[in-house]
């Protein structure tokens, strides 16, 4: 229970390109935010890594800075809520706390060939039945197996119980508690390809399939509830760690999509659309994922999810890879300077294609250019590619029996791009609704933690806090929409299998 005067919730939002900390009060108002980018490591083509020590140092520094900025002491914070980039895999020595290898990021494709072999051997159905996932290098299991098989001495250490595995939530909790707690929540566990979402336990058959010793795995706890207490050294006083959730599940909670049939789309590094299916784990027949949304008081809410690997990262590529813009904010004006792409289509398969295609060998493709094509056309095609990938997800969900969308709630950094949101509404043919707080990932973590420690009364009370900032109505006619989608799907086919050719 909350003590008098402890009315603050600290959300730690550890993302793919940056770490952030946001402080919320009892009315869910933002009192301060601190953010730091960290290094992206690309050792080989298709490989993506992070330095785990850098993840921890940037995250704890942000937490300390936001408390200092707000003039709030750690003793006034009722709870910590953690949300994190999912699937990214860290393995460390239990005694020293030192990682034995860099974090292998969710975007990493080094285990694509292993996944091919597992599918060829007929394991896809069993994996999907237990986990709700497709066999893909996106998830943690093959990343963990790669570390154990490729880092000298790792497997022997793991067999002796000397190593710990975790997704980023687990890594942060370990460091916050100085190694006292080796935990993950059900939402993150459901992204490892090792967790049975029906029995709510690590699956023995999957551990055998991927050759993973049980000793390395964390305990799985509820998404919202008392988990552990941070050490006094971390932030100046011990604070209850009261929630952990994968970033997309946290964003869904932050959008207050508490009921079956409600959906949101987050425009971050990737794009992630989640549809709440209630207490039913709906099996997709259109290559979407069935995943745990959250588990509270032992009750699980499930989601259908479509994952797009390259969302806002496409704009980063325009900035850093091509140098077409100096800052990401410039893309809206550049893309808006032309009325259309004039036939230019970009498929941003830089890390393969996610749902519903699941092709790790697809590669980025830019087609339809003429001598008249300009950087403005490419910029507009980049924004269209983000929206078009989302349309593919919506159509797959509807083929799985989901009711037609009446509106799409959006969040994430790129949702502040008004042109992108208008393009999205036009291509979906339904209104796109942006809330006043678009950083719903951190907000969801704060809600989950605040409910656990009594800062927020109930889920019903949180519904009242959700407010509309902007609503984008579709204006494109059906013929134009159909032609654009047809051109997009032809370009998609040209991108597939490229790295395997």
Q: What is the 3-state secondary structure (H, E, C) of 347-367?
A: ECCECEECCCCCECCCCCEEE
Residue 261: name the closest of 297, 225, 303 by CA.
303
Is the pLDDT at 1 greater than 50, yes or no?
no
Quote the tokens at residue 470: 């902007």
The pTM of this model reads: 0.83
Residue 364 known to bind ligand: no
Residue 311 known to bind ligand: no
Residue 204 known to bind ligand: no
The pLDDT confidence band at residue 501, using thresholds 50, 70 and 90, is low
Give the tens place of pLDDT for each residue, 87-128.
Answer: 999 999 999 999 999 999 998 989 999 999 999 999 999 999
Token pair 């942060």 is found at 172
The pLDDT confidence band at residue 3, using thresholds 50, 70 and 90, is very low
Give the tens place of pLDDT for each residue, 313-340.
Answer: 899 899 999 999 988 889 999 999 999 9
Distance separating alpha carbons of residues 105 and 137, to the nearest angstrom: 10
Residue 111 known to bind ligand: no
Is the pLDDT at 155 greater than 90, yes or no?
yes
Residue 247 known to bind ligand: yes
Cβ–Cβ < 8 Å for 445, 10: no
Residue 316 known to bind ligand: yes
Residue 300: phi, psi to the nearest 5? Answer: -100, 135
Residue 86 known to bind ligand: yes
Residue 169 known to bind ligand: no
Residue 150 known to bind ligand: no
Residue 18 known to bind ligand: yes
Q: Residue 182 CB: number of other CB atoms within 10 A?
A: 18
Cβ partners under 8 Å of residue 201, min gap 6: 195, 220
pLDDT, mean of residues 389-399: 89
Residue 8 known to bind ligand: no
Give the tens place of pLDDT for each residue, 17-59.
Answer: 899 999 999 988 889 999 999 999 999 988 999 999 999 999 9
Give the tens place of pLDDT for each residue, 206-263.
Answer: 999 999 999 999 999 999 999 999 999 999 999 999 999 999 999 999 999 898 878 8
Is the pLDDT at 282 greater than 90, yes or no?
no
| Beta-bridge partners for 118 | none
Residue 248 known to bind ligand: yes
Is the pLDDT at 181 greater than 80, yes or no?
yes
How does strand 263-267 pair with strand 408-411? parallel
Distance separating alpha carbons of residues 107 and 121, to the nearest angstrom: 24
Residue 17 known to bind ligand: yes
| The pLDDT value given to residue 5 | 55
| The pLDDT value given to residue 423 | 96
The sign of the CA dihedral 357, 349, 444, 187 is: positive
Give the tens place of pLDDT for each residue, 416-473.
Answer: 899 999 999 999 999 999 988 777 889 999 999 999 999 998 888 898 888 889 999 9
Q: Residue 389 CB: number of other CB atoms within 10 A?
A: 29
The pLDDT confidence band at residue 4, using thresholds 50, 70 and 90, is very low
Exposure on the CB side of residue 305, measured as CA atoms within 13 A: 29
Q: Could you tell me where the beta strands, DSSP code E, fall in 297-378? A: 299-308, 345-347, 365-367
For a pLDDT cut of 70, what percent of the chain falls above it?
98
Give the tens place of pLDDT for each residue, 471-484.
Answer: 999 999 999 999 99
Q: What is the mean pLDDT of the chain?
A: 92
Is the pLDDT at 131 greater than 80, yes or no?
yes
Is the pLDDT at 403 greater than 80, yes or no?
no
Residue 482 known to bind ligand: no
Q: Alpha carbon of 395 to those of 102, 165, 228, 401, 409: distances in Å?
A: 37, 36, 41, 10, 16
pLDDT, mean of residues 152-173: 96
Distance separating alpha carbons of residues 407 and 417, to the nearest angstrom: 18
- Give the burial class of 233: count Cβ atoms within 10 A of its Cβ; 0-12 exposed, 13-18 middle, 19 or more buried: exposed
């Amino acid at each position: 229970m909350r003590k008098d005067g402890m009315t603050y919730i600290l959300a730690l939002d550890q993302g793919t390109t940056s770490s952030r900390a946001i402080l919320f009060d009892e009315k869910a108002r933002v009192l301060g935010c601190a953010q730091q980018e960290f290094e992206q490591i690309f050792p080989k083509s298709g490989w993506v890594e992070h330095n785990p020590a850098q993840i921890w140092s940037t995250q704890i520094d942000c937490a300390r800075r936001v408390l200092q900025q707000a003039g709030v002491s750690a003793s006034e914070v009722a709870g910590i809520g953690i949300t994190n980039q999912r699937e990214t895999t860290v393995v460390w020595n239990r005694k020293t706390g030192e990682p034995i290898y860099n974090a292998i990021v969710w975007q990493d494709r080094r285990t694509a060939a292993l996944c091919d072999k597992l599918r060829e051997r007929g394991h896809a159905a069993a994996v999907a039945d237990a986990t709700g996932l497709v066999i893909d290098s996106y998830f943690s299991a093959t990343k963990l197996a790669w570390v154990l098989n490729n880092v000298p001495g790792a497997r022997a250490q793991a067999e002796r119980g000397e190593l710990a595995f975790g997704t980023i939530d687990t890594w942060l909790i370990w460091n916050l508690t100085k190694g006292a707690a080796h935990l993950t929540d059900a939402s993150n566990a459901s992204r490892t390809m090792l967790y049975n979402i029906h029995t709510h336990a690590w699956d023995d058959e999957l551990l055998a399939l991927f050759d993973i010793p049980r000793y390395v795995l964390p305990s799985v706890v509820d998404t919202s509830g008392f988990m552990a207490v941070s050490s006094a050294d971390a932030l100046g006083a011990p604070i209850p760690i009261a929630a952990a959730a994968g970033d997309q599940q946290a964003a869904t909670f932050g959008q207050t999509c508490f009921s079956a049939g409600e959906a949101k789309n987050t425009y971050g590094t990737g794009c992630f659309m989640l549809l709440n299916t209630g207490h039913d784990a709906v099996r997709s027949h259109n290559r979407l994922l069935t995943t745990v949304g959250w588990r509270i008081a032992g009750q699980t809410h499930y989601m259908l999810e479509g994952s797009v690997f390259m969302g806002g990262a496409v704009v980063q590529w325009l900035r850093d890879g091509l140098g077409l813009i100096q800052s990401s904010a410039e893309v809206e004006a550049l893309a808006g300077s032309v009325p259309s792409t004039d036939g230019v289509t970009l498929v941003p398969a830089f890390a393969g294609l996610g749902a519903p295609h699941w092709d790790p060998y697809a590669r980025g493709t830019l087609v339809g250019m003429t001598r008249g094509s300009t950087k403005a056309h490419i910029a507009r095609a980049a924004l269209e590619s983000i929206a078009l990938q989302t349309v593919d997800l919506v159509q797959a969900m509807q083929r799985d029996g989901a009711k037609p969308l009446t509106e799409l709630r959006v969040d994430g950094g790129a949702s502040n791009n008004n042109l992108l949101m208008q393009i999205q509404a036009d291509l979906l043919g339904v209104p796109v609704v942006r809330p006043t707080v678009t950083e719903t990932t951190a907000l969801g973590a704060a809600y989950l933690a605040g409910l656990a420690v009594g800062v927020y009364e109930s889920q019903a009370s949180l519904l009242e806090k959700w407010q509309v900032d902007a609503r984008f109505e579709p204006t494109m006619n059906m013929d134009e929409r159909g032609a654009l989608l047809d051109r997009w799907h032809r370009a998609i086919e040209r991108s597939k299998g490229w790295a395997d050719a």
